[in-house]
Amino acid sequence: MKFRNLFWALILIAIGFLFMVSNFGWIDFHWVSIWRLWPLILIFWGISILPIKDIIKFSLVIAFIALTFIFFNQITEPRWYFTLSDHSWTWNDSWDVEWDDEGSESRTYTYSKQELTVPFDSATPKAILKMDAAAGNFYVRGETSELLSFQKKGDIGDYSMTTEESDGKTIINISLKKNKKIRRVRKNRIDIHLNQHVTWDLDFDVGAAAVEMDLSDYKIDTARIDAGAASLELKLGNLNPLTYIHYSSGAASLKIRIPKESACKIHSESILVSREFHGFNKLGDGVYQTENYPEGTNKIIIDIESAVSSLKVVRY
């Protein structure tokens, strides 16, 4: 039997194997964890089309299943899921969740809020935001009297922020604080508000995330987003003569809204992609632009690099 005929069977076997060893308490695995294993589909698919013998393909699959088991065993701790009626959940004022189980140790998951701000200086014409966002839900929208305001809710840990001045620009760096302790993240929500009186460069590095950016009220020079498996909704305005957007991801769902009066060009280098570019004409392989692009005064250039994607650009 050819390997490609066993593609989906192997995926089910791998997931079923993880559930089985979880039942024995060797690792912690449950339905919520399945979405973390989406790369297995790409791995098994890639192995199936390699120009090598089937026996080697089978060996590679077994190796990846073993590595997956080892990985989950290292990042998780034993936990029982099948006697929930015997467990009690208690919430306290500090957002701590404790799981008390008679005969076993208590485990605590600490949820916290964090707020960071950068004061606004009217002498600053431009700001650069660089963010290592990790995984979670991220929202960039709304105004603030500060240069930037940042709010976090969740149990991922705290973020650190640094600022520096260079050539009249304020550079803001936000990243997750390093912690040797392995975290079990249940929630990470980030809300960012930017000042509307300066011009912005945005540089986001996100993991498995859902990102919503309403940038229609900001003057954006560039926005670079590098994502793993992400869902991105982006709304742009026409307050800047030229806006450049670069988006790179592994597997993504991308929706971008641009003003009808803005001239726009799209460069898309993607495979296994579903495209919907409303109001655009195709110029060549992966190149699309609106009819008003040659004479447009407010231009938006969008550069997309993605492997498995759903891409949609609409005009409002």
Give tens-digit pLDDT for 65-88: 666 655 554 444 433 333 333 433
Q: Is the dihedral of CA 42, 48, 50, 54 positive or negative?
A: positive
Given a contact cutoff of 8 angstroms between Cβ atoms, the answer to whether 176 and 159 are in contact is yes
The torsion region of residue 8 among left (phi > 0), alpha (psi -120 to 50) and beta comes to: alpha
pTM above 0.85, yes or no: no
**How big is the chain by its Cα radius of gyration, in Å?**
23
Range with the poorest average pLDDT among 65-69, 137-141, 236-240, 246-250: 65-69
Given a contact cutoff of 8 angstroms between Cβ atoms, the answer to whether 206 and 155 are in contact is no
d(CA 280, CA 264): 8
Given a contact cutoff of 8 angstroms between Cβ atoms, the answer to whether 35 and 248 are in contact is no
Which of the four pLDDT bands, split at 50, 70 and 90, describes residue 274? confident
d(CA 184, CA 73): 13
**Three-state SS for 236?**
strand
- With 60 as the cut, is the pLDDT of residue 25 above it? no
**Three-state SS for 32?**
helix
Given a contact cutoff of 8 angstroms between Cβ atoms, the answer to whether 291 and 262 are in contact is no
d(CA 113, CA 188): 10
Q: Within 13 Å of residue 120, how many CA atoms lie on the same side as its CB?
A: 15
d(CA 174, CA 192): 11
Average pLDDT, the chain: 78
Quick one: which of 132, 116, 117 has its CA closest to 204? Answer: 132
pLDDT at 19: 66
- Residues listed for the chain: 316
Which of the four pLDDT bands, split at 50, 70 and 90, describes residue 296? very high
pLDDT at 260: 93
Give tens-digit pLDDT for 165-211: 999 899 999 998 876 555 555 678 999 999 999 999 999 998 778 89
Quick one: which of 186, 216, 211 has its CA closest to 200? Answer: 216
Quick one: which of 170, 172, 171, 118 has its CA closest to 146? Answer: 118
Task: Note the Cα 211 to chain centre separation in Å.
Answer: 7
pLDDT at 219: 97
The residues facing 224 across adjacent strands are: 203, 246
Q: In what order do the strands lie in the sheet with 96-100?
A: 88-91, 96-100, 107-110
Given a contact cutoff of 8 angstroms between Cβ atoms, the answer to whether 40 and 64 are in contact is yes
The residues facing 309 across adjacent strands are: 252, 273
